[in-house]
A and B are shown apart, each in its own frame.
Chain A
Amino acid sequence: MPTKATLSGVHFMNGDEAIAEGAIAAGCRFFAAYPITPQSEMAERLSWRLPRVGGTFIQMEDEIAAMAAVVGAAWGGAKAMTATSGPGFSLMMENLGLAVMTETPCVVVDVQRGAPSTGLPTAVGQGDMMQARWGSHGHYEIIALVPASPQEAFDLTVRAFALSERFRVPVLVLTDEVVGHMYERVKIPDEVPIAPRRRPAVPPAEFVPFKPDPDLVPPMACAGEGYRVHVTGLTHDERGYPDMSDGAHDRLVRRLAEKVLRYREEYTSYEEVGLDDAEIAVVSYGISARAAHGAIARAREAGIRVGMLRLITAWPFPDERVRALADQVKGIVVVELNLGQMSREVERAIRGRVPLVGVFHAGGRIHTPEEVLAGIEEVARCE
C-alpha cells in the first residue's frame, strides 16, 4: 500500500481516482466529504491514501459540514479539498460563498450527474455549469476547470490547487460521471510542484490581514501563526473588521471579483482542434467534447471544414477567444449535456454575429456522433 505522496509513473485509473491522486500530489492533506454517487471512488481512495501520507480524511455528516470543514482546515494551514455531485454541490453553496468572502484557498470537485434533484445518480450530466458560476448568493467570480479525461482530471486538480493559492479563491473542478468512472492511462510526473501559500511579509504588529498586494490578493495568516486575525463572512475592511457601509461593501466585492478577472488571460485555457481552416466551430467541454470528436472526423470526411474549441477553463469564460471565433467561422455548434448553459456564454460572446446551433441532451448518456454531426450539418446549411 503506497505511502508515497506522488505516485510517479504510469497508472490505469479512473477520473475520480486521478483527482484523488492529483490532490495528494499537489499537497492536499485534508479532505472532508459526504458519500454521494458518482464521487465515491474519490472519497474511498482518499480514505485509504491520506492517513498514510500524514493527512486527514473525514467523512462529515453532510455536504454543508464538508464544505465548512474545508474552509476551516484551510485556515488551519492545510491545503484542503472536498468532492461531491449535484445534490451535495447545492448544499455546499453557502459555505462556498464564505470561502469567496474570506478569501480561502480550497478546491471543490463536482462529479456531475443527471439533475435536477436526485435525478440520475449513476448517469452523466453537465447541468451544474451555471450553478458553479452563480450558485452561491451575491456577485462573485470563481475559477472552474473542466477535465475531459482521467489524465486531465489529475493535471487540472494540481492546477486547481495552484490557482486557489495564487488568487486565494475556491477553485472548482467540474467533472462528470463518465470522466469520473472512465479508466484510462494516467501518467503521474516524477515531481509535482506544490503551490506555496502567500504568507505575510511583515511581523504581526504591522500586518493588515485583508490589505491586498498590488495584484489585489492579500497575504494569508493562518491560525496559530501569531497574527491573530479576525475572519468574517460579513463585509469587512482591510483589518478584517465588519464594516456595514455601502462604500466598504462595493470596494470589497469589486476587489474580490477583480482579483480573479484581472489575470484571466494568463490562466484561462482551452484546446483548439482543427480550427485553422475551419468554417464551423464546435464549442464543447468535458465528456461532451470527446463525444464531438467522432462527429468532427466524419464531417471532415464529408468535406465540411469543422474544428473544435474545447473549454478547459469554464469560468472565467474565455470571452475573447470565443469572440474571435465569430470573426473566422460562419457558424458555431455548442455541445453539452444540459439544455443550454455554456451556450448562453457563447451567445453572449459572439453577440449574434454568426448562427449558433445547440446540440443539447439533458443527460443520462453522452451524445452520439450522429447527433453532433446533425448539428454540424444544420449549421453548414445556414447562410
Chain B
Amino acid sequence: MRVKAKPIPEVIPGARHPMEKYLRTDRIPHIWCSGCGLGTVLGNFLYALDELRWEPDEVAVVSGIGCTGRIAGYLKLDTYHTTHGRAIPFSTGLKLADPKLHVAVISGDGDLFAIGGNHFIHAARRNLDLTVVCVNNFNYGMTGGQVGPTTPLESRTTTTPFGNFEHPFNLVHLAASAGASYVARWTTLDGRRLQKGLVEAMAHKGFTFVEVISPCPTNYGRRNRLGEGLDELRYYADHAVIRHGADPKEAEIVLGKPFLVGKFVELDKPTYREMYAAKVAEMGGKK
C-alpha cells in the first residue's frame, strides 16, 4: 500500500511532545533535515526510556560527532557530546567511575565504525555494560555526504563519484564477532520493534548493540535516487526481512537486495565490571 504523506507545518502552535520531560525543549527546533530518521530514533529512545522507568538522573547519554552526535544535546539528561569517534572510550571512563549510571552511546556509522571502530570492538570484547546505538545512514551526512564504512557497493557519494568500490562493514556481524551480548538491527520504519529493541538492549547487562537503518534523503538518498525520506521508508518496507536469530554473517546490506533485521544475539556473560569485582574479591581487596 502506498501512503501519500500529508504536508505538515514545521511548527504546530501549542503542540507538545508526549515525552517532553526528557527533552531540552529550549533547544528545539533541532538541526536535522526533513525526512531524516534521527527524529524517529530520538523519539523511540525517549519512549524506551519511559518504558524502562529508570530514574532519569541516573541515565547518561554520550555521543560522538556528526548528525547523530547531536542527539545528546536535545536530551534533558546528563549528556556528553565528545570528540569524533571517542564516545565509547569516554563512556568507558564514565561508567567505570560511576557504575550506578545507565550509559547509552548514540552515534553514527562513520563515528562509531571508521574513526571509532577500534574502540567499538574493544568495548564489545570487554563486555562493558554499555548500550551502543548506531544510526546507520550509509554516509557522512554532516560533512556533506561522503563515503563511509557502511556505504553499500556502487553507492554514489560526494567522494565516490563513480560509485563506491570499497567493501562495507556488516555491523551486525562485526558486533557479534567482537563479543557483544545483544545485537539487533531495525529500521526507522520499525517504530514499535525499534522501541522494544532499545528497551531490551538497555535492560540487558553487558555490551549491547542496536543498529538503526535510517534515511538521509539530503545526501545519501538524493545521490542514489532513493527519493525523499518517505521513499526511503518505502524501500525499507520492500526490502527489510525480519528474521530473529539469523546468522549475523547473512546480515550484509546490498543496494537493491533484501536485508535482514531483527534480534541476532542475546546471551548472558559476565561484564567487565563483574569480572573486575570478582578478581578484587579473590584478592581480598575492597570494591
Residues of A at the B interface (CB closer than 8 Å) are 1, 3, 29-30, 32, 51-54, 56, 58, 60-62, 64-66, 68-78, 80, 94-95, 97-98, 222-234, 241-242
Contact = CB atoms under 8 A, between A and B. Distances in A.
B73 A230 contact: yes
B92 A69 contact: yes
Interface residues of B, number: 42
B72 to A, nearest CB: 7
Contacts of A223: 60, 78, 94, 98, 101
A227 B78 contact: yes
Given A51-B276, A80-B93, A231 B80 contact: yes
B77 A30 contact: no
B83 A232 contact: no
Q: Is the interface of A mostly helix, strand, loop or mixed?
A: mixed
Contacts of A228: 56-57, 76-79
A248 B91 CA distance: 28
Contacts of B122: 60-61, 65
Contact of B283 (A52, A62, A64): A52
Given A51-B279, A77-B98, A70 B93 contact: yes
**Interface residue SS majority, chain B:** helix
A61 B116 CA distance: 11
A3 B285 contact: yes
A65 B92 contact: yes
B93 A62 contact: no
Contact of A72 (B57, B58, B80, B285): B80
Interface of B: 24, 26-27, 56-58, 60, 62, 72-73, 76-83, 86, 88-98, 100-101, 118-119, 122, 276, 279-280, 283, 285-287
Given A51-B287, A226-B57, A73 B76 contact: no
Contacts of B285: 3, 51-54
Contact of B81 (A29, A60, A222, A233): A233
Given A61-B118, A64-B86, A98-B82, A76 B73 contact: no
B23 to A, nearest CB: 11
A230 B86 contact: no
A73 B27 contact: no
A75 B95 CA distance: 10
Contacts of A70: 93
Contact of B96 (A62, A68, A76): A76
A223 B23 CA distance: 17
Contacts of A234: 81
A229 B78 contact: yes
A61 B86 CA distance: 12
A137 B130 CA distance: 30
A76 B86 contact: no
